[in-house]
């Protein structure tokens, strides 16, 4: 199948989709467009796209599929622009935005003009950004949500899934309202809470710098998601506000109940609160890709000996195992220390664990 595919937005997601499509349909022509000309130049040099252009109207006019890989606010503006441009009869337009109701409203204006818009949200990503971080298997085993309208022909939905089969993602079909509610609960609200905690610690740290030092360990790990793109999260909160505001209200009520437990020193209720949360969390799928990025972390006990860190990283490098992050948890003279190694996939973690244990290192997974 030879298709003309245009990717608008050449970042991590757009670049990775281009690579996934090319893996399944190498004969297709992948064209790229981005206001960041450096990103376009880099995508061409990395052979992620074959063609590019400065004029949006010119580059999309013959496209069979147009993928908008931009933040939500930008995607809506692009959809508005596309609605005034001549597009190929039968073309499919999709996006990758984290909220769907406002995007679907803009995209549905294309329907009825010989073009089909299908909302999309691949629930995958990386701690790295930019087209240079793009990789073909970024979406493997991740959920890829599709939000067609009621008028979307089944044939068009099937065509889009066929085009994207190289992602190796798990496709799920939802309406836009359900998508925004689910994503709000398991992704958007946690990001708000994590960022709020960081603000609270930052304020306390201004009064006592010791707070910042104490936050360098576990606190930094549990708030990792607060490091995500401010532009992306600004757009998500604005466009999912009708869903998030009631959730924030429920969160406040939960905090009030906990506050009352503490004030009344109700030991039984406090215990039950944590016991129920532990049981519920322990029953969640482990190391599966969902609405938030999983962390493939491995702890490695290391002796206090010169060269031990380079020995660990060298063993992994010889097996072409990529470490996305490394942190020394403890390294004081005369005692055992620990490394926290982060990997890009569960398979890399398992291979690294086996390899290091063969070399007499004691390892254990992150809880």
Query: Residue 158 sits in a domain of what CATH number?
Result: 3.40.50.720
pTM over 0.85: no
Domain shared by 342 and 200, yes or no: no
Per-residue pLDDT tens listing for the chain (367 residues): 678 999 999 999 999 999 999 999 999 999 999 999 999 999 999 999 999 988 999 999 999 999 999 999 999 999 999 999 999 999 999 999 999 999 999 999 998 789 999 999 998 876 667 888 888 888 888 899 999 999 999 999 999 999 999 999 999 999 999 999 999 998 999 999 999 999 999 999 888 888 888 887 678 778 888 888 888 899 999 999 999 999 999 999 999 999 999 999 999 999 999 999 999 988 877 656 555 556 678 888 888 778 888 889 989 988 888 887 788 775 444 445 788 888 877 788 889 999 998 888 888 876 5
Domain shared by 71 and 18, yes or no: yes
CATH number at residue 208: 1.10.3660.10
- Return the percentage of the chain with pLDDT > 70, whole number: 93
Give me the number of domains the chain comprises.
3
Domain shared by 97 and 193, yes or no: no
Residue 128 placed within a domain? yes
Residue 261 placed within a domain? yes
Residue 288 placed within a domain? no
- Contact between 352 and 343 under an 8 Å Cβ cutoff? The reply is yes
Residue 290 placed within a domain? no
Helix axes 346-358, 308-318, angle to 10 degrees: 120
CATH number at residue 310: 3.30.70.260
Domain shared by 20 and 122, yes or no: yes
Residue 289 placed within a domain? no
Domain shared by 156 and 270, yes or no: no
Residue 242 placed within a domain? yes
Strands (E), 82-236: 92-95, 116-122, 143-147, 170-173
Residue 291 placed within a domain? no
Domain range for 351: 296-365
Question: Rounded CA gap, 137 and 16, in Å?
Answer: 8
SS3 call for 305: coil
Question: Rounded CA gap, 33 and 31, in Å?
Answer: 7
Domain shared by 102 and 235, yes or no: no
CB atoms within 10 A of CB 303: 9
Largest distance between two CA atoms of the chain: 72
């Amino acid at each position: 199948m030879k298709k003309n595919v245009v990717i608008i937005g050449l970042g991590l997601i757009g670049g990775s989709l281009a690579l996934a499509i090319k893996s399944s349909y190498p004969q297709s022509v992948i064209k790229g467009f981005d206001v960041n000309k450096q990103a376009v130049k880099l995508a061409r040099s990395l052979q992620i796209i074959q063609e590019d252009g400065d004029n949006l109207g010119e580059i999309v006019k013959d496209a069979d599929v147009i993928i908008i890989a931009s933040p939500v606010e930008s995607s809506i503006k692009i959809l508005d622009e596309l609605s005034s441009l001549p597009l190929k009869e039968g073309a499919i337009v999709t996006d990758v935005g984290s909220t769907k109701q406002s995007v679907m409203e803009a995209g549905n204006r294309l329907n009825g003009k010989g073009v089909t818009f299908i909302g999309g949200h691949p629930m995958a990503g990386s701690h790295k950004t930019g087209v240079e971080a793009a990789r073909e298997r970024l979406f493997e085993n991740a959920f890829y949500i599709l939000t067609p309208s009621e008028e979307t022909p089944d044939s068009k939905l099937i065509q889009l899934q066929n085009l994207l089969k190289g992602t190796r993602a798990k496709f799920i079909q939802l309406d836009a309202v359900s998508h925004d509610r689910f994503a709000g609960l398991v992704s958007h609200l946690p990001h708000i809470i994590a960022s709020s905690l960081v603000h609270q610690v930052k304020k306390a740290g201004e009064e006592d710098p010791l707070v910042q030092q104490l936050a360098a360990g576990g606190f930094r790990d549990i708030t990792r998601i607060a490091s995500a793109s401010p532009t992306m999260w600004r757009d998500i909160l604005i466009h999912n506000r009708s869903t998030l505001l009631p959730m924030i209200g429920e969160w406040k009520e939960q905090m009030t109940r906990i506050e009352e437990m503490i004030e009344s020193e109700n030991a039984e209720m406090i215990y039950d609160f944590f016991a129920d949360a532990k049981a519920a969390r322990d029953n969640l799928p482990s190391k599966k890709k969902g609405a938030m990025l999983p962390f493939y972390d491995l702890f490695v006990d290391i002796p206090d000996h010169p060269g031990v860190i380079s020995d660990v990283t060298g063993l992994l490098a010889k097996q072409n195992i990529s470490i996305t992050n490394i942190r020394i948890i403890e390294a004081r003279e005369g005692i055992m220390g620990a490394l926290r190694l982060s990997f890009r996939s569960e398979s890399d973690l398992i291979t690294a664990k086996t390899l290091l244990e063969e070399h007499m290192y004691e390892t254990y997974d992150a809880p």
